[in-house]
Amino acid sequence: MANPKKYSKSKLNKFRKLIQKEIETVHKDMEEIKEGVLESGKASQSYVPDSVYSVHMADAGTDSHEKEKNFQFIVRENSYYQNLISALKRIDNGTYGICKECAEEPKNLCETCPLIPEDRLMAVPIATMCVDCKEKDKMGLL
């Protein structure tokens, strides 16, 4: 039995709900990280500026490291957020769940292609490639 070329509307709605829920979670996480960055910034400003040694160097280094780590978290979450938005656009234009590599190179079709398996999309809703193509991509074979 051949696999369908696209997911049904009901499955796409299921994916849409999953992605929208994930977007809400990511948005909330980014707000919490931003609040943490702002709060730590206020705390470091509360030190008395008239003393050069009011903050121990190790404490200042730790604070700086924590801020940098939080900014990296924001960057990572923002990237994931943008990928989720792209996934919603793919649902809207009818390309969600279609492996981009298998669709371009039909001769390289894997067992389930061109569709990305539903289990993979439920685990990684931003996936644009099936597992076989993703592994080939990581090995530099695509």
* % of the chain at pLDDT higher than 90: 46
Average pLDDT over residues 7-30: 95
Q: Give the separation between CA 83 and CA 98, rounded to whole angstroms.
A: 15
Q: Considering only CA atoms, which of 26, 22, 24, 7 is closest in space to residue 124?
A: 22
Average pLDDT over residues 79-105: 91
Peptide bond into 106 cis (omega under 30): no
Instruction: Please report which confidence band the pLDDT of residue 129 belongs to, taking 50, 70 and 90 as the band edges.
Output: very high
Supply the pLDDT for residue 2.
42
Q: Please, is 4 exposed, middle or buried when counting C-beta atoms within 10 Å of its C-beta (0-12, 13-18, 19+)?
A: exposed
pLDDT averaged over every residue in the chain: 81
Supply the pLDDT for residue 109.
53
User: Which position has the higher pLDDT, 70 or 125?
Assistant: 125
User: Which position has the higher pLDDT, 54 or 81?
Assistant: 81
Average pLDDT over residues 124-141: 91
